[in-house]
Amino acid sequence: MDDISFDEFLKVDIRCGTVLRAEPFPEARKPAIKMWIDFGAEIGERKTSAQITAHYEPEALVGKQVLAVVNFPPRQIGPFMSEVLVLGLPDEHGEIVLIGPDHDVPRGGRMH
């Protein structure tokens, strides 16, 4: 594992957002869900897709707070432009579990 400096870590802008809308993404090569996430007034609404179908149904994601990297360049995924990278951890089977706060926090709050 390569070491990074604290200043390098601070360049990664990780924010909390609330999922406003989610829907299946059948055009993706691997099963995925498209999400529209509100990061508050400073950043606004951004969209993403994630391979999280093992643990989540689209309708259950609405209202969920998640953490995402908001300062990566947009990435084209099939016909969809992903603007943020939601964060998660693999379970014992390698399926992604989303990371989010365990108490409600303001939209757009930056991880410290």
- Domains of the chain (ranges; CATH) run 13-98 (2.40.50.140)
DSSP letters spanning 58-70: HHHHTT-EEEEE-
- Segment 43-71 shows an average pLDDT of 98
pLDDT for 37 equals 98
- Segment 44-67 shows an average pLDDT of 98
Could you give the CA distance from residue 104 to residue 16 in angstroms, rounded to a whole number? 10
pLDDT for 112 equals 86
- Spacing of C-alpha 41 from chain mean position: 18
How far, CA to CA in Å, does 25 sit from each of 71, 78, 110?
23, 10, 28
Does the pLDDT of residue 5 top 90, yes or no?
A: yes
Could you give the CA distance from residue 23 to residue 27 in angstroms, rounded to a whole number? 12
Q: What is the CA radius of gyration of the chain?
A: 14
Question: In the predicted model, what is the mean pLDDT of the chain?
Answer: 96
Could you give the CA distance from residue 106 to residue 53 in angstroms, rounded to a whole number? 26
Pick from 83, 92, 94: which is nearest to 51 by CA? 94
